[in-house]
Amino acid sequence: MPKPIPTKFFDMLPIPIIVVENVEDSLNHPIVYINPSFTEVIGWNILDIPDKEHWWKAAYPDPQYQKVVERLWEISMESSGLGNNNFVIVTVNIMTKHQGIKRFKVYTEHRSGLLEGYYVVAFEEVIESRAAIF
């Protein structure tokens, strides 16, 4: 039986977090928890994105960009396996529910050290500064 998800801990984090169940025989893993920061910043809730397939369609609605992100993800997974890094980090554009496209650095665990049977995905919004030209 999987460990309970420490929602109080994730609820207090100021960055968007989702927890995904790692289902061995499926590529479409269910999303089992979304913290309040995720809904506030990115907008989607668990009814909108109950699993990985729904997330990919919502976050990357352009099929061509979806393929780019998928390939970037595959390359990052392959290269992270070369070291002792338990995380994959990619920077991508994500379609939010209410605020259009925003850029995020996405951190994904291979396997959670905290939650056996799950993995955690964290989103850090990338705010690109534009220096004024004088």
pLDDT tens digits in sequence order for the chain, 134 residues long: 456 777 888 999 999 999 999 888 888 999 999 999 999 999 999 999 999 999 999 999 999 999 999 999 888 877 765 555 678 899 999 999 999 999 999 998 876 667 888 889 999 999 876 554 54
Kindly report the pTM of this predicted structure.
Answer: 0.86
User: What per-residue confidence (pLDDT) applies to 85?
Assistant: 64
- Containing 7, the helix (H) or strand (E) segment is helix 7-12
Tokens read off for 94:
């994500």
For each of the domains in the chain, give its residue range(s) and CATH number, in order of start.
Answer: 7-125 (3.30.450.20)
